[in-house]
Amino acid sequence: MTQQPPDIVLLDADWQSRTLIRAQLIEEGFEVVATESWTMMRRHLRPGSKPRLAIVDVKDLSEPQDVLRDLRVLMKPERVLVLSAIGTIGREDVERLGFHVVPRPFEIETVVREARKLTKEASH
């Protein structure tokens, strides 16, 4: 029996931010796996069992450009939401890769609204 992938895999190195975003997404009815490292996130991006959406907060990642480059190979860019921070990687650079962006500072509801929209689009 094959295990269903979660709706969303969230990568956020900051435990507080990760916890708040995950809790709100679960409250909205999503099945969410939250990870603190790229290595852990990659385990959930296997062919045939990928989530409907990957959310990556680049703020505290040590090599955000490398993560986004690898992520672009593993997921369709339209199924990736990047939470960007000035000084980490520019919004234009992220959008050039084809990813959706929520710039900092943001409210959790903004992230949830974008996740809802993108998962709905991924279902069609």
Which residue, 39, 51, 41, is CA-closest to 3? 51
Residue 27 lies in a domain: yes
pLDDT band at 124 (very low <50, low <70, confident <90, very high): low
- Residue 94 and residue 105 in contact, taking contact as beta carbons nearer than 8 Å: no
Residue 2 lies in a domain: no
Give the CATH number of the domain where residue 23 resides: 3.40.50.2300
pLDDT tens digits for 33-89? 999 999 999 999 988 889 999 999 999 888 999 999 999 999 999 999 999 877 778
Mean of per-residue pLDDT scores for the chain: 92
- The range of the structural domain enclosing residue 116 comes to 8-123
Per-residue burial over 84-114, b = 16 or more CB atoms within 10 Å of its CB, e = otherwise: bbeebbebebbeebebbbbeeeeeeeebbeb
Residue 3 lies in a domain: no
